[in-house]
Amino acid sequence: MVSWTELIPSHERQQMISLVITLIVIGVLLWLVNNYIPMDGKIKQIINVVVVICVVVWLLSAFGVLGHTGDISVPQVK
C-alpha cells in the first residue's frame, strides 16, 4: 500500500504546510482583533472584509488563478 506522503513531493508538502500555517495565523489574529480589541462593530466588519479579500486575492495568485495582477503586489507561495 502506498502512503499519501510518497505520492506528493517533499517541497510541495512543505508549501502546503506553509500555506495552512499562514491561514491559521491570519485566522487567529483576526479572531484576537475581533474578540479582544474594543472597536465599533462597523470598523471590525470593515477589517474582516479587507482581510478576507486580501487573503482570497493572495490565494488565487499563489495557485496561479490570477496571472498578471498589474500593480498589485502579493507574496508568492514557493
For residue 57, what are the domain limits?
Answer: 12-78
Percent of the chain with pLDDT over 90: 46
- Inside any domain, residue 58: yes
Summarize the confidence of residues 9-37 as an average pLDDT: 89
Among the residue ranges 24-28, 37-41, 56-60, 74-78, the one predicted with the least confidence is 74-78
Distance (Å, whole) CA 2 – CA 19: 25
Whether pLDDT at 11 is above 60: yes
Among the residue ranges 18-27, 36-45, 64-73, the one predicted with the least confidence is 64-73
The grid cell for 59 is: 490565494
Measured CA distances, 19 to 34, 47, 60, 62 (Å): 23, 21, 12, 9
Summarize the confidence of residues 27-45 as an average pLDDT: 94
Distance (Å, whole) CA 18 – CA 12: 10
- Inside any domain, residue 1: no
Question: What pLDDT sits at residue 12?
Answer: 76
Total number of domains constituting the chain: 1
